[in-house]
Amino acid sequence: MNEHPTGLAALMNRRLAVMLPLGFASGLPLALTAGTLQAWLTVEGVDLKTIGIFTLVGLPYTLKFLWAPLMDRIVPPWFGRRRGWMMLTQLCVAVGLGLMALTSPRTDPEQLAAFALLVAFLSASLDIVFDAYRTDTLHPHERGLGAAVWVNGYRVALLAAGAGALVLADYVGWQATYLAMAAVMMAGLSAILLSPEPTRVADPPKSLAEAVGAPLREFFSRPQAIGFLAVIVLYKLGDAFASSLQTAFLIGGVGFSVTDVGAAKGIGVFATLFGALIGGVMMTRTGLVPSLLIFGLLQAVSNLGFALLAMVGKSSAMLMTAIVVENVTGGMGTAAFVALVMSLCDPRYTATQFALLSSLEALGRVFAGRPSAEIVDAVGWTQFFVLTLVVALPGIFAVWSLRHRIEQEQKERTPAFSPAA
């Protein structure tokens, strides 16, 4: 008999409830240092070359694993190792956004770039400790649902800091908009105050050398460590290929307008939120490995919707169907994948191991574009999307091959919960 609450009943606890506002705080700074910042620069008449240089501001998000060991090693003097860092970094992000708001991109672009880079660095650091906190706080049967709730908060924040900020800037101006976003981040500190202490408690590394080297030694000392890395790299690879040229396919390959694609992708965001949530709820019943297999197969098969669209041609109904199905199944797969990464982290080194594993998963998204273009040139769009299904199969097979070991890892990485849990 299942001793854990399942379905929506699993939502009724403080550990899961705080995932929504914390996910929101994680996502809010991203657009404010990327697309929304580009819009501000463009409106202020900054030249295109300078705007291009501003894209480098996002570099800390790809390099955050370099300083993650520091956040495992150093324990702030307040709120503990995880909540202390959360409080400090989120406060600093709010201050950084305030500094951006008080800087003119027209007269001081270099200073604005420095503040934006600082916010990106602090935001990436906030992501490091948020990932560690989520992993150390959620019970194993809550991880899929917790990841789904987190993704919902994160995506809503992207909408608020993206489309929401653009609309707000039209009414109150850019400086007031960024000050408002800084105030939202400051208000979000209350969620950290209300968040429970982690339920997985382990002593931090005793030195910086241990914080840097021990996470790797510990991970590679496990049976099937290379297999786990293969799962991390391969599980979302089919999705990475399918999405790498999706916009180019819809506009250039099929002939939809930019407005058509924008509207469909807007609906796709909500489909992702729904998929992540329904996937998380299902995981409370089915468990980690069955969910990885089922959701992985569904997200792979969903790519065939775009193959059908390539065959049918310009059809609004087919476009909407393909986008919705792909995003729902992608959200389900993301919930299961994040739960997998959490289950592979040792509680002593959660920040470092999570940052490293998530960086490996991102490799597919970074490098899929060029080979995708060459495949399309060689075989056409229809065959390309069929091939993305084939590319997804090794990841599913890797999960199946390691299914017993993944379940064992989940048990071994789950020490006794603290009495307060």
Tell me: the pLDDT tens digits for 261-313? 777 877 888 888 899 889 888 888 888 899 999 999 999 999 999 999 999 98
Q: Cα dist. 66→3, 31, 124 in Å?
A: 40, 23, 11
According to the model, what pLDDT value does residue 392 have? Answer: 93
| Domains observed in the chain | 7-199 (1.20.1250.20), 209-412 (1.20.1250.20)
According to the model, what pLDDT value does residue 95 have? Answer: 96
Task: Give the orientation angle of helix 316-343 with respect to helix 288-301, to 10 degrees.
Answer: 150
Nearest to 40 by CA among 109, 123, 120: 109
According to the model, what pLDDT value does residue 419 have? Answer: 40
SS3 content of the chain, % helix, strand, coil (to 5): 80, 0, 20
According to the model, what pLDDT value does residue 2 have? Answer: 47
Q: How many CB atoms within 10 Å of residue 143?
A: 26
According to the model, what pLDDT value does residue 9 have? Answer: 56
Widest Cα–Cα separation across the chain: 67
Cα dihedral sign for 339, 345, 351, 354?
Answer: negative
CB 151 within 8 A of CB 272: yes
> Exposed e or buried b for every residue in 118-141, given b needs 16+ CB within 10 A?
bbbbbbbbbbbbbbbbbbbbbbbb
What letter does residue 112 receive in the DSSP assignment? H
Name the stretches of the chain with pLDDT < 70. 1-12, 258, 365-366, 369, 412-421
